[in-house]
Amino acid sequence: MTEVTIRAADGGSFSGYLATPQSGKGPGILVIQEIFGVNQVMRDLADGFAAQGYAALCPDLFWRQAPGIQLTDQSEAEWKRAFELYQGFDEAKGVTDLQVTLAYLRGHAACTGKVGSVGYCLGGKLAFLMATRSDAECNVGYYGVGIDKALDEAARITHPLLLHIAEKDEYCPPQAQQAIQSVLGSNPKVTIHIYPGVGHAFARVGGQHYDKAAAESANRRSAEFFKQHLGA
């Protein structure tokens, strides 16, 4: 497990947390951060994917504002800072950074060349945008915020996409969920699972809305999805 440096398309560079499988090589998973930066939660997720046989890379998407930021969801001050970073985030440049990171991971010695993405919260929407704007082999979004605002890109989805949606997600209300299902539900490349009675970030271990049963169900589905499309 190590820090790597990735060159940005428009100049400069940013860091990423790379976790590699015990075998030394495997398919790649691009792990896309929440609004708290590449914190311990994201590093633990990357380590978990590495334990499953993947080369997992989580890039720092807030580097243009505050490189190396690592927040938790345990204090009001940290929530406030996280939302400031989220509001200041340039989504288009963030997707470009993810595209560059995808290429970096594909070319890394620890990667077989096949790469998918998985994102949480902010990263959940970015995983959707990776499905519409990149050639990643597959993409997974957990409780993405704002996917309903980007549904005009749905026709660009050419690789499998898996979405996990929390029924009681305050950041993805019923009308947004209905729009997502209406536009994406008939797309054979897209699989949507709704988790009844759970709130946003139900899979964030230690988080306020963590739900063990829902998290285990979503993670099992994601593992099967990645195995099917990436082959680890």
Which positions are annotated as active-site residues? Answer: 169, 200
Q: Are 78 and 72 in contact (CB under 8 A)?
A: yes
Q: Which of 110, 97, 121 is nearest to 20 (CA)?
A: 110
Q: Are 71 and 82 in contact (CB under 8 A)?
A: yes
| Edge-to-edge strand ranges of the sheet holding 138-142 | 2-7, 13-19, 55-59, 26-32, 111-120, 138-142, 161-166, 190-195
Rg (CA), the chain: 16
